[in-house]
Amino acid sequence: MARLRPGAVVLGLVVAAALAFPFVMRAEGDAYYLSFASRILIYALAATSLNLVLGYGGMISFGHAAFVGTGAYVSSILLAEGVASAWIGWPAAIAASALAALAIGAVSLRTRGVYFIMITLAFAQMTYFLVNSMKAYGGDEGLTLPARARVGGGIDLDDAQTFYYVALAALAAALVALHRLAHSRFGRVIRAIRENETRAEAIGFPVYRYKLVCFVIAGAAAGLAGALLASHGKYVNPSVLHWTQSGSLMVMVIIGGVGSLWGGALGATALLGLEDLVANHRVAWVAALLPNYPQHAGLAVGLVLLAVVLFAPQGIAGLLARRPR
């Protein structure tokens, strides 16, 4: 009988739990958590796409929300204009985000270090302001959508359970793709560039080109997350492009484990879970200190993040990896 590695067993359990989740929720009659879980899956996808650029590629891009937002807005605008099919809307969102990543990356990647961080930040703000001024599509009030995108073939996205599985499939596809990418020739080059960019160039890899391709791939995946996000809430507004959203994505990646396959997923679960915990589950002794503490969830997030950066920089994945096998 073949011996099962502990990692494979854990993976199997996680997959099984993820697949069974909606049925458990249906049994409990709880619609809120099913929707919440879908939201976690979407953010897990977005955070995973950032992890590619940040964790594997070593590019500290503070503007990733721009690509999530581009995907969200392109798919929303199409839906608002009557193009209901996801088969058009979602590829369009992915293409638009990839293009945005190409444009922003082409300029930003010519810079290094601190400049790069600030430029990506500034460009993301630029897209925020641009979208904010699009009065035709809601401006700063946002855009409400008539319905979720249509997939056809019996798959009805308006059904919460179906949507959950579609989001799960998207995340699963992204994780598989990331895994293969990391071990491919391209992945090796990207990781070598992160390790020592000068050396990578000096053995013959045109570094700028590889970084740009990596950036675009990540942008495209972020675009898909954006499209899913827009359909999920049937609403989109410019705040999805705000740089603090980029910050949230980075927080997810660092908490989950930068550069590890599950970092994005773990981080999204942790951050959104923490926010939900603070907002919805009253803890008596904290309430005694601070009566309306749920409104100050940001404080908890900030403190947790500080703790992680100072004491556990490898995030949850790093903590898990340190446990003796």
Contact positions vs another protein (CB under 8 A): 54, 60, 62, 107, 110-111, 113-115, 117-119, 121-123, 125-126, 129-130, 132-136, 180-181, 183-189, 192, 195-196, 198-207, 210, 213, 243-244, 247, 250-251, 254, 258, 290, 295-296, 298-299, 301-303, 305-306, 308-310, 313
Taking the complex as a whole, the smallest distance from the CB of residue 184 to another protein amounts, in Å, to: 5
Q: Can you read off the two tokens belonging to residue 113? A: 């270090």
Nearer to another protein, 84 or 95 (CB): 95
- The nearer residue to another protein, 62 or 67, going by C-beta atoms, is 62
Q: Would you say 61 or 231 has its CB closer to another protein?
A: 61
Residue 261 Cβ, how far from another protein at the closest point, in Å?
14
- Of the candidates 65, 136, 57, the one whose C-alpha atom is nearest the C-alpha of residue 104 is 65
Measured from the CB atom, is 283 or 303 closer to another protein? Answer: 303
DSSP codes joined into one string, 15-40: HHHHHHHHHHHHHHT-SHHHHHHHHH
Burial 69-81 (b: 16+ CB within 10 A, else e): bbbbbbbbbbbbe
126 CB contacts (<8 Å, ≥6 apart)? none
Reported as type and span, the H/E element at residue 144 is strand 143-144
Q: Give me the least distance between CB of 303 and another protein, in Å please.
A: 6
Shortest distance, position 318 Cβ to another protein, whole Å: 13
**Of residues 114 and 288, the one with the C-beta less far from another protein:** 114
Measured CA distances, 4 to 7, 22, 258, 322 (Å):
8, 27, 27, 20
